[in-house]
Every structure is written in C-alpha cells, then in structure tokens.
Structure 1
C-alpha cells in the first residue's frame, strides 16, 4: 500500500462506516460524470481522490456543528445523510432541490443539516465561519465550526482577514485547506512561496497542522482529537490537507496541464483503493461485504436519481421569484410617546442603538474603535459599560471578514450591526454585501439579519475618501434595503425598524447632519415604516424629490426664494421606494426635480427620473430635472467642495423649472 494506516482505537464498525462513507460520494460522482456527458446535468466539479478529507472532517464533527464546504466536498453532504433525491434535483435545477432552481451544484445551505454552502467568490465563507463560531462562543456552547478552502483561496484577502479575526477573538474554527496542487491550471509553485500553507498559521498566532488528506484514518483521528481540544479550549486551528485533484477544475477544463508522472503518483495514493486494500488485509472487508455495500449504494443512487428525473421542470412564476428576494417582514407599528426631548441627529442614532440592544438580547455590534473609544463620531461612547465587550466589539481593519462574520451570526440565529467607520470604506467589504447578504434569502431561504451603518456625505472638508455618498452602489442590488433619513425623529424610528427587519439594511447617516440638525424626538422606543416618504411642504406647481442633506438644502433654498409652490418630498427610504407618493405629487404638479448629493451620472436620481417618465409622462408639463454633484471625486478644499456639491446648481435648476 502507498498509504500507511495506523489504528489502535477504532472499531471494525467505525472502519467500515468510514469506507462506506467514502465510497458513496465516489460512486455518485462516477454516475454524475456519465450524466454530464449525456447532457443531463450542466456542470460538475469533481472531488475524486479527495473523499477522505470531506468524510473524515465531517465524521469528526458533532451533528449540530456547522460545516462550510466547497464544490469538491460531496462527502460532506452525503456524510450528513442529506436525501439523495434532493441533491440530484438540485443538480438538475428542479424545485425539490435546495434553491428552487436558482443556483447550481453546491451553492446552497441547509439549516437542518448545519451545512452552509459556498459562493463562487470563495473567500467570504471564511468570515461567515467566524460569525457562526462567535455565536456559539457567546452562548457558551462547546461547538466548533469547520470551513473549507483550497490552496488557491488562501491568496484571497478574505482568508487572511478571517484568520486574523478568529485568532484575535479566540474563535473555535477549523480552517481546512485542501491543498490539491492546482488552482484551475495554476500550480502551487505559482501561487505561494512558503513551503507549507500551514506555516501561515504562525503569522496569526494560530496553531497549525499538516495532515495526509488521502489517509482517512489520519484525517478522522487527528481532526477528532483537534476538534475535541478546541471545544474545551476555544481557539482556531489551521489544517493543511495534502491531496491532489485528479480531474479538471471542472470537467470542461481537463488535466492536460498536469505532468503524467504526477498523475500516476497520486493515482497510486487513491484514498478509497488503499483503504479498501487495508481492510481486506485486516479481514474486515471481503468480496461479499464489498459487493453488498456497492449494491446498496448503487440501488440508492438509481432510486433517487429516477425520482429526480420524474420531477417536472421548475415552475416559472415572477411573483414567487420577486417574493423570495427578501424574507417576509411584518412591520409592527410602535407609536411614539407624547414625551419628547430635543436631540441632535447623532443623539437620535445613539438612542436607537441603545434601545435596540436592550430589545434584542442576541444583537451584536461590530466595528472599528466602537468599544472603549466609542467610535470616531462617539455614537457608541459608554456602551460597553452597559452592554459589555462581547456585544460591542472592536474589530481589526478588515471590512470584508467582519461583514462575513455578521452573516455568520445571522445564520446561527443572532442579529448583527456593522459600523463602517466611513461609508467610503464599504468598498473593502463590497463583495460579501452584494454577493452574499443580498442573494442568500433568494438562493436558499436563509435571511441576513444584518444592519450596516454608513456614515456618509460631504460638506465637511474630508476629501475623496471620507465624503462619498454611495447609496447608488446598493440601490440597484436586489435583496438589499437602503434607508437614508434626514431628521433625528426619522433616524431613530427607521433605525429601530432596521433592527427588527430580518433582512440586510444599509443605513446611511449623513455626517454633516450629526451635530447640525436638532429636533424634538420621543424619549421612548418607536418605529417608522420603510418605503414611506415624508411630505414636508405642500404646493401645486413643482415636486421636489430628495433625501439626506438634500432635504435641508431644498428647505433652505425654498425659504431664501420665498417660494411656496413646491411639494417637498423626503424619501427617507430608497429601497423600498415610495413610488406612490412620488407619482401622486407629480401627477398633480406636472413638474419634477430630483436632488441628490451623489455625483449625477448613475445616481439614484436617474432611477427616480426614469420612473417618473414611465409612470407620469402624460402629466408632465416640463422636462424632469436632475441635480447632483459633479462627476468627479470629492475634493478637499472648501471652494472646490462647494463647487462639487449640487446646492447652488439646485437653486438655478429650480428657478429654470419654475419659469419653464
């Protein structure tokens, strides 16, 4: 045998179970490759030769411990005994699969089996594993989380961010690297320079291990030992499994780039062939037992495959597709009290955060400098005295993994708030927001109970990297809710609703309003609905539509001009949008001007303008006007910033529209 097996403790039943558990995904794969050639499935990512890792790791975990596999980890799914008819239906895009035909292969999760599938961007799931483990740790549950990546994925920033967070927070995560030699066609010699990827653990103060990924006994025994140790002494561990990818990255890729002698070497190390030979030598397996195991697996495959084939194609129903973008949220109106106090915008935000922490015991805040320091704007100052550092968590500077961790908290039944220190920095966490949080409910029915707070906007001389108002990056992404209040009263009520909503909410807070705008605000907890605009002024000649700082600019200019003919609409919520309010006003006034602080091209003002043109065309007596900032980055010098911002251009455009 090419592989040396050592067993001092495992019973014959356990050994046979490990063999059967490896053989099952191998036989399923062999069938899938036939179906792929027949055109009955569209794509396949083969894990042939790597079964010992998937099976050994999964068998080492408790059934209620989460595992986050990749697309070569079929053995994870079969070892958790997921019904094969549903797996086969998933690969055919049928409704009884796990994504209603909306995603393919292994891009799905199943809460019932504590499996969270990958997305094609690979890296974000590492941060998700951090969040899942953080929830376990906060509940004092002795549970670990295992997450897979390939050697290629270790070059992604998400890998390093996730390891750093896990190490700093002592999270019980097993980071499992399947080092299978190639990232598509790129060999490891062109991917990293360290001798072993396990060496990277030292850079994070993390223990690391190297395991023969083709030796099922070594995988199962050593991972079981490591896992039990981590349950009792929470900490992360990095495990590098040495293995090889025997087929192409996916079947269309082939393996022509792999030297034949290397293929021959690893074929001799086949985990199933070698273990089968070992069991024969130990008189644990014989031809009769082997034939029986194979027949049972083959019968299970055929029965469930025919069940999936018999199922009709997925129904096409636009209302169902649209209805599943968000998890259902039944808004609860909580009316404000009569008693009020004057609050600044920033105080209203802070008050809402405290009230929501008291209301939701499972809510966790994460962000840079938000604990002892209270955040750069001092919004969370003093919070750790009441809520503690477990719930008010300083994070390393790694936006992507922190957002991933927020997603993991939601998967494990908690709520999360992530504070972007400045909304500009969300670009470092863009991928998990638009590709993970936004799509996950639509893909497999898992909601993202996450609020991302976005201090934004110009007018404070902060320059190109601390002044953007970037809501348009997100208003076009299905699955995200975008809220942008202009007043303390609205900010408090809408933020309370954001924490009640089980869907991802990006909550924009204009920095220039933090300490400049005051208002009488109810002292008690209350909520305001999303998708309901506020009519601030009534007129019959022109409709002004705006949000954020634009609301205050519009009021100031209307006062200066002493113009009484405008309907002034504060949208408050951009997604969902109160289109009814807009159309009712425009159909009455016949003129519309849309004001945004964002640079004009591609702004949300353009979307509103298009909607008005489509819905209210017959009522229009003038062209729809759009006013936004210049199509440049935001400059620092006051004179340049004043020129960049749209306030004075709005005055001129409004006058033009009045005179049209």
Structure 2
C-alpha cells in the first residue's frame, strides 16, 4: 500500500497515527463491554477507521460533518470527550442528547457534527443546506456528508446530489462502500460498475479511493475540499473498504464468505499505516506499544469517568419543554388597515418578513420569475434577488432537508409546496428530521412549509387533499391554518419569526374569494391561540379554515339558532382553554372540518372534550367531515364530498338532541 505523505511533517504523521489508532482501541473496549452486558448495542467501524479519521482531518474544525453509524473516528478526531460519548452510548441524561437518543444519533454545534437519523439518506440534503449557508455568507467552507453504499439506493441520494449540482454547492458526498447493507451485497444493491460512475450523470467530479489508506483518504478529501470551495461545486467520493464485523454485533456475519475476511484483514488500515510509519522510521515496535498503552490507559480513565453518572431523574415538564425552542414575543398590530384579499395578505406577510429577516430564504418550484403556481411570490425575484428567492428542482424531500441545513447554518427558510398534496414526497424529512431535532439535541429547525390546501376548486384527488391531520400527530411541529386575511398575514409572519418548524396551511378556495381588513404594518398573531368568531347560546361550532366561513354562512342563514363559532387558527399546539370555554357556552358541540372523517383532526378535539369537558355537555360531540373517499373532480361529486353538504343535517341532529 502506497502512502503519499506530501506536505505532511513527521509531527503530523504521528498525530495522524494516534487519531487512527484511538477509535480502534475504543472499539475493542466497547466490544468487551458489550459482551459483559455493560452497553446494549454497538455498530462497529473496525476496518473502516481510515475513512472517518482521514475525512475529519482533511476538514477545518468548524466545517460541518454529517456522519453515520460507523464513524466513531469523526467524533474522536473532533476531540469529543470519550467520557461523555460513553454516557451518550449508555443513554445517560449527561450524554449529548439527555438520554433521548442512542449511539451516534445526535449532533453537537460546538463540534460541528450533525447527528444522523436511521433513515440515512436525509443527511445528504442537510449538507446541501449547510453548504448553501456558507455560500450565502461568502464563507470559504465546505460541508461533508457520509453515506453507505446501501444509502445510495435511496431517492434522497439522487435528490441531494442533483440539488448540489444544479445550485453549485460546496459539498463533499463521501460514500463508504463496505460491500454490504446489513446482509445485502452490492450485487443486489446496484448495477453500475462503481458508484462513483454516477457522478458524471449529475455533472460533478467523482473519484474512487482506497478507503483503508489513511493518507489517500486525507489527501483526496483535502483536494476535493479545495476544489469544492474554489469552484463552488460538489464532489462525489467513493471509498472502497470492508466491514469486518456485522451490521451491528447482534446480526453476525454468517452471510459473508470467509475468504473476504482473510483478504481484507491484510488491508487493515491501522496495520498498514503502522507498517508505513515503521518503514520511514517514525515508529518501531517499542513506540507502537508505548502509544497503545498510553491510549488504552486514557480510554480506561474516560470510561470510568463516563460510568460515574448520577441516577436518572425523569422530569415530564422538562421533556415537554424541550419539544419547542422559545418563540419570540408577539408584535401587536398598529397603524392603518386596508381591505385585502386572503392571497394578498399572505403575499404582504411574506414580503414584510423578507424585509424583517435578511437571513430568510424562499425555496419552491416555480416561485422565482414565474411567481409561484398561485402568484404569491410574483415580483419577489426582482425585489430580493435570486439568492433569496430560489427555484428548486422537483425534489420536495431534498429541499426540506436543505432548509434544515440552512437553519443549522443560521438562516430562516420558507419552503412552498406547490400543492399540499405533494408534501408526501418530503414527509420523512418533516416528521423525522425537522420535528425531532430540537428535542434530540437542541438544534432549531427554523423552517416554514407553506401548504396550499383544500378542495372546492375542481382540482381532483391530487390537488385538493386536506392533510393537516398527517402532521398534528407529530410532536415538534407547529400546525397553523388561518381563515381570514388578517390571520393569514399575522400567522405567517409569526411562523417565519418562530425558530420551530411550522406547517402553514392556506386554503386555495379562500385566496381570491375572501377579503377583510388587514393592518398595513408588520405584526404577528400568536401561534396557539384560537379566536372566538361569535358567541352563542344554543350550539358551539369548533372549526378552522374554510369551515369558519361555512359556519358563519349557516349562522347568518339560520338566525333562529344561536351559534357560537370558535376558529382554532392553530391545530398544534391547541388552545384547550378556548375549547373548554366555548363548550361551556352551550353544552352542545359540533366539530367541523373539510378533512375526511376517519382519522381527521376532529376526532382528537372530540376525544379531548369528552375526556375533559364531559360535565359541561348536554349532548354527544358531533363531527361533521367530508366523505371517506379521495376528493373527486366533477363538481356535483365534489360538492357531495365536502362536509359543507352535511352541515345542516349535523346541526339539526345536535339541536334536537
């Protein structure tokens, strides 16, 4: 094995050797502790250390890395204390994730490491966002994301590489090809000769390296980093290596031909580098043993320190408090008001937020010169520039991941789903990355996803769904759904000010059909607070979005029934105080929404009222929802589908209870 030591001093080579040996010795200790039952799980990187260590050495300490299971060398080379890492692996509240995550599913801002999620591929898109943040700040830095060869089969791999190439982002995509995705060999994973061959298809540079050669990894990535920064282009690197142990220890290695272990054991990265260091007379048998004993002693001390943990104290209030980062105070309306359509209020709120937050970036399909499918961002490109108003490829998942990367890089972002229906293509990033990251390791996800939603416009099954209930079940998200122009502006500005991920639903049928007074100056409406539209004595309708207008129309047409109407405005978190108060007004409650009945959000409201307000009720809670079918296209079918067509029947049933 040839080692290129160009531009590396003897002192650097010795430090490289220590950096390579340290994670190997830690692994040997962890495997011993695993057999003793002192740790519960371990994903071994033995045989692959040169990739993690070489890549980390090649980057600057303040450049972000997105590691995976087998990248202990990233954490140790960034000099993270082993004692605290051990606490993390033990699930201690003194670890990096307060006991909320295991192994390497955590991140740390001080060490510029973004923790993985088990879905693997989404890490690649986060690197895009971090690289974009560097680019926007004119920083000469790159981001690096790890992937296994199995992860390259995920759609996120294609999306992330395509976005990086199209936008010209300084990202290094590092694929550790160790031959197996758990038990699936590469012959069953892909059909190209080499994964690096895919680089040309994305219009980027690609190179394959010996992943067991520490200096080849280091020199290649150092060169790739310089290229990515100078040219503002991504690079794909495939590091060939082998996994010497199972996917994790419990899975074993029976599916691997024994001769492969014999072949790759001769290429052991630690042994090969030790041989090289002896050949150039920087190490000998005695110095190698001395360094090993020194590091082993250090490991024993750190593990002992890591075991000195206090008993776990569980505090439910703390758990709930860490779901969200603190939101800024509300900005009250002031000055003149102007009559505006619903859609114009959204545009104004977005525009004023762009002025309020120079770090706010807008992303979405066709939102730049075209102005978006509904023309909400028309004129924004000329006003704010192409760096902040960005057309995206059709890849919802990668763009949501990029938005999270931007948040890590200190930016705010708004992602427009062209239609709320299309969010399913970005679902994983939203519910597993955006929603959970603050709870996991305190990183904010300062992202708003705008969701043009709802039916009544003859758009059929794939452009009309009311899918807000998909997200109200996910802790860590906020879900808002305005019904008036004033709230449309104020809730959008509040969402963009909020450091937490917000799903902002805007009903397409309200865009140009509803007008109302809107304060001209910048203001926000508190997320999590409902609005009592009108009081009443006979029945209470709890609703949101288009349902507010259906309820108001019905009440106006039936003055003989005194109807209280509560506009929830925010679905997550819910205003339980307002709900209980409107229940108390009448004792009869109708929950109205456009979504289908089964699994609709009305079920949650109804259940909460039954559990907490039963003593206030004079009748069962009635739900009025749309049919449990896809949204049909033909106008007569769509009218029959919508819950509005059953509103009178439900109200009469409740009134006569």
TM-score range, shorter chain: over 0.9
Deviations 1:400-440 (A, max 9, x none): 00000000000111111100000000000000100011110
What residue number does 1:124 align with? 122
What residue number does 2:534 align with? 537
8 Å contact from structure 2 (residues 43, 247) kept in 1: yes
Report the alpha carbon displacement of residue 233 of structure 1 after superposing the two structures with TM.
1.8
8 Å contact from structure 1 (residues 346, 379) kept in 2: yes
Asked if 1:585 corresponds to 2:582, the answer is yes
Report the alpha carbon displacement of residue 227 of structure 1 after superposing the two structures with TM.
1.0
8 Å contact from structure 2 (residues 555, 562) kept in 1: no
Counterpart among 341, 357, 360 of residue 357 in structure 2: 360
Structure 2 distance, partners of 1:511, 1:127, is 29
Asked if 1:514 corresponds to 2:511, the answer is yes
Deviations 1:440-464 (A, max 9, x none): 0111111100000000000000000
Deviations 1:512-544 (A, max 9, x none): 000000001111111110111111111112111
8 Å contact from structure 2 (residues 206, 237) kept in 1: yes
Report the alpha carbon displacement of residue 564 of structure 1 after superposing the two structures with TM.
4.5
Structure 2 distance, partners of 1:289, 1:376, is 68
Asked if 1:192 corresponds to 2:190, the answer is yes
Alignment of 1:644-655 (within 5 A): 644-655=641-652
Counterpart among 194, 199, 202 of residue 200 in structure 2: 202
Report the alpha carbon displacement of residue 557 of structure 1 after superposing the two structures with TM.
1.3
Structure 1 distance, partners of 2:497, 2:3, is 54
8 Å contact from structure 1 (residues 180, 244) kept in 2: yes
Asked if 1:482 corresponds to 2:494, the answer is no
Report the alpha carbon displacement of residue 130 of structure 1 after superposing the two structures with TM.
0.2
Asked if 1:216 corresponds to 2:205, the answer is no
Q: Quote the RMSD (CA, aligned, Å).
A: 0.9
8 Å contact from structure 1 (residues 93, 314) kept in 2: no
Counterpart among 123, 141, 147 of residue 149 in structure 1: 147
Structure 1 distance, partners of 2:211, 2:562, is 74
What residue number does 2:262 align with? 264
Asked if 1:382 corresponds to 2:366, the answer is no
What residue number does 1:5 align with? 3
Q: Secondary structure at the match of 1:499?
A: helix
What residue number does 2:342 align with? 345
What residue number does 2:101 align with? 103
Alignment of 1:159-308 (within 5 A): 159-308=157-306
Of 141-150 and 295-304, more deviation after overlay is shown by: 295-304
Report the alpha carbon displacement of residue 229 of structure 1 after superposing the two structures with TM.
2.1
8 Å contact from structure 1 (residues 538, 566) kept in 2: yes
What residue number does 1:629 align with? 626
Structure 1 distance, partners of 2:486, 2:74, is 50
Report the alpha carbon displacement of residue 558 of structure 1 after superposing the two structures with TM.
1.4
8 Å contact from structure 2 (residues 227, 233) kept in 1: no
Report the alpha carbon displacement of residue 8 of structure 1 after superposing the two structures with TM.
3.8
Of 386-395 and 34-43, more deviation after overlay is shown by: 34-43
Counterpart among 456, 459, 462 of residue 462 in structure 1: 459
Alignment of 1:489-500 (within 5 A): 489-500=486-497
Report the alpha carbon displacement of residue 231 of structure 1 after superposing the two structures with TM.
1.7
Counterpart among 411, 415, 419 of residue 414 in structure 1: 411
What residue number does 1:438 align with? 435
8 Å contact from structure 2 (residues 50, 269) kept in 1: yes
Structure 1 distance, partners of 2:391, 2:144, is 24
Structure 1 distance, partners of 2:99, 2:264, is 36
Q: Secondary structure at the match of 2:387?
A: helix
Deviations 1:279-309 (A, max 9, x none): 1121110133212211221122111111111
Report the alpha carbon displacement of residue 335 of structure 1 after superposing the two structures with TM.
2.0
Alignment of 1:609-620 (within 5 A): 609-620=606-617
Deviations 1:198-219 (A, max 9, x none): 0111111011000100011111
Structure 1 distance, partners of 2:270, 2:427, is 42
Structure 2 distance, partners of 1:507, 1:411, is 21
8 Å contact from structure 2 (residues 490, 525) kept in 1: yes
8 Å contact from structure 2 (residues 491, 525) kept in 1: yes
* Structure 2: gaps (5+ residues): none
8 Å contact from structure 2 (residues 169, 228) kept in 1: no
Structure 2 distance, partners of 1:112, 1:203, is 36
8 Å contact from structure 2 (residues 144, 172) kept in 1: yes
* Structure 1: gaps (5+ residues): none
After superposition, the Cα gap between the structure-2 partners of 1:414 and 1:8, relative to the gap in structure 1 and judged at 3 Å, is: closer
Of 7-16 and 504-513, more deviation after overlay is shown by: 7-16
What residue number does 1:316 align with? 314
Deviations 1:544-582 (A, max 9, x none): 100000011111111122244111001101111111111
Report the alpha carbon displacement of residue 7 of structure 1 after superposing the two structures with TM.
3.0
Of 9-18 and 484-493, more deviation after overlay is shown by: 9-18
Q: Secondary structure at the match of 1:441?
A: helix
Structure 1 distance, partners of 2:459, 2:319, is 42
Structure 2 distance, partners of 1:587, 1:339, is 36
Deviations 1:325-352 (A, max 9, x none): 111224x232222311111000000000
Deviations 1:599-643 (A, max 9, x none): 010111000000110111112111110010011111100111111
Report the alpha carbon displacement of residue 379 of structure 1 after superposing the two structures with TM.
0.1
What residue number does 2:544 align with? 547
8 Å contact from structure 1 (residues 100, 314) kept in 2: no
What residue number does 1:135 align with? 133
Structure 1 distance, partners of 2:641, 2:21, is 65
Counterpart among 84, 87, 107 of residue 86 in structure 1: 84
Structure 2 distance, partners of 1:137, 1:563, is 63
Q: Secondary structure at the match of 2:147?
A: strand
Structure 2 distance, partners of 1:162, 1:313, is 42
What's the TM-score once normalised by structure 1's chain length? 0.99
8 Å contact from structure 1 (residues 533, 570) kept in 2: yes
Asked if 1:53 corresponds to 2:66, the answer is no
